[in-house]
Structure 1
Amino acid sequence: GHERFECVAAIILSVMLFLTASIIGYSAIKNLFTTNNEIHFGIFAIIIAIISIVTKEAMYWYTKINADRINSNALLADAWHHRSDAFSSIGSLIGVIGFYYGYYILDCIAGIIICICICKVAFDIFNDAINKMIDHACSEEFENELITLIKKQEGILGIDDFKTRMFGNKIYVDIEIKVAGDDSLQHAHLIAHKTHDAIENIYPIVKHCNIHVNPGK
């Protein structure tokens, strides 16, 4: 059951993302009514903001690529933490530019938009993690791909039963295949074994595939 720790971590990180977004949104709304027109920024503030944006965005893409590679929701949430920092820096940059040109409200508008974007991402990550916690079936598209692969295997006459379930970020598959009734036990086992290997080799996300053999006519 250790795969579920991945979901727990993703849920915790999504809540942290939501809190981060809330702080950004609260500050933006607060500044909307308390903007200090006497604040002045130098070119140094713009340089720091740009460096922060580039660095955090690079960290986002590095983490996201690895999250996609290992199918990790927790790592994806961590990647969005980096991007939320980049968004905050973008808001700061917009605010600095706005102050230069007298558009003091730009900082507040940027903060509110960033808050909404991060909240949307936090909700999507949270929802996906919850779905993976409750052992729901895989998507219809993925199931159809598996069924097509199974039917292509030599010696299989049909599929009597087929079930999939998500367990954390892994997939478990239970199948009942139909083979010739007069086939030998050894050959029937070989068909099931080859089908098992084909599924797990082509789809690494499938952690375990259980195949039961039924005699056909």
Structure 2
Amino acid sequence: MKNENTAIRTIYFSIVASTLLAIIKGLAGFFGNSYALIADAIESTTDIFSSLLVLFGLKYAKRPADDNHPYGHGKIEPLITFLVVGFLLLSAVLIAYNSIQNIQTAHLPPKPWTLLVLGGIIIWKETSFRLVLKKSIETNSSSLKADAWHHRSDAITSVMAFVGITIALLFGDGFETADDWAALFAAGFIVYNSYLIFRPALGEVMDEHLYDDLIEEIRQISIGVEGVLGTEKCFVRKAGTKYHVDLHALVNGDISVSEGHAISHKLKDTLIKKIPNLEHVLIHIEPK
């Protein structure tokens, strides 16, 4: 529960930050003749909606297990991540389309003061990325990680806009569209970033084998439990911020069923105590 609450507080931070930045970028882009900044504002606007989706997902994932969802509701997290990726791709398409339109249309060069705005935005978004990514690692949340990469992609598009505006200002006539080209390249980066976010979420939905380190930790803890002589199969799958484990434990084949049952409960309790991110642990006793 602590992880979920931390993730939700972090998402509120993202929503407020994206809202403020969308307004600042939009105004600066409009009055500063910079489509790259307007493109940045478009992405920040999609960030708001994607963060709202993540917030919904995190709150839904907190629901306890019930008769229809015996393993809880954590699988909604990667599904929300897919929607977040959809928003990223939508913003990339909008930015690319409008960039091409602006490249083909003569317009005034961007104003120098827009560089100051972009400089502040770059620092803020990179700081936000590092903060949210740190929280995503702490809480083990895939959707929060996706939200963190929204901040990083925003920082990159701002860097590209900064470069484009600088070129337009330095070289003058004939280079007015440099920031539009920068926005177009930024759209390409957003598409690439979308894949990096999508791939691990897909693995989570498909219960892909991705947790070798966790499995090794489970095996090491298990053999330290009295009565456990070793382990065989160990399967791990992730749902939200928690893991579900199926473990085959080896015990003395001559002990009673009751003794084996007691060992399995002791093993389960030990694993959950020492690895807080474990939620469901199913122990199958094997005679050695």
- How would you bin the TM-score normalised by the shorter chain? 0.7 to 0.9
Match of 1:139 in 2: 211
Contact preservation (8 Å) 2:164, 2:181: no
Alignment match of 2:237 (pick from 158, 161, 165): 165
Tell me what 1:7 maps to: 78
Match of 1:93 in 2: 162
Q: Please tell me the residue identity of whatever aligns with 1:92.
A: A
Structure 2 CA distance, aligned partners of 1:160 and 1:89? 51
Question: Matched residues in 1 for 2:150 and 2:109: separation?
Answer: 29
Q: Distance in 1 between matches of 2:112 and 2:253?
A: 83
* Identical-pair percentage: 28
**Gap change, CA 1:94 and 1:147, over 3 Å in 2:** same
Report the equivalent of 1:118. Answer: 190
Mapping for residues 176-195 of structure 1, pairs under 5 Å: 176-185=248-257, 187-195=259-267
Q: Is the 8 A contact 1:7 1:130 kept in 2?
A: yes
Question: More strand by proportion, 1 or 2?
Answer: 1
Change (3 A) 1:181 1:84: closer
Cα contact 2:139–2:241 (8 A) shared by 1? no
Q: Which residue does 2:61 correspond to in 1?
A: none
Shift of 1:11: 0.9
Q: Which has the larger radius of gyration?
A: 1
SS of the residue corresponding to residue 164 of structure 2 reads helix
Q: CA RMSD in A?
A: 2.7
Give the whole-Å Cα distance in 1 for the aligned partners of 2:274 and 2:188: 39
| Deviation for aligned residue 1:186 | 5.3
Gaps in structure 2 of 5+ consecutive residues:
1-71
Shift of 1:101: 0.7
Note if 1:200 corresponds to 2:272: yes
Whole-Å separation in 1 of the counterparts to 2:154 and 2:239: 31
Partner of 1:46: 115
SS at match of 2:111: coil
- Could you tell me the TM-score, scaled by structure 1's length? 0.81
Could you list the per-position Cα deviations for residues 80-136 of structure 1 after superposition, in whole angstroms to 9, with x for gaps in the alignment?
A: 223333333223322221121117264345334422332222112222222222333
Cα separation, partners in 2 of 1:40 and 1:134, compared to 1, 3 Å? closer
State the distance in 1 between where 2:263 and 2:146 align. 41
Q: Which runs of 5+ in 1 are unaligned?
A: none
SS in 1 for 2:223: helix
- TM-score normalized with structure 2 length: 0.63
Instruction: Give the total of aligned pairs.
Output: 214
**C-alpha distance 61-158 of structure 1, shift in aligned 2 (>3 A):** closer
- Write out the 4+ residue segments of structure 1 that deviate beyond 6 Å after TM superposition: none
Q: What SS is found at the alignment partner of 1:3?
A: coil
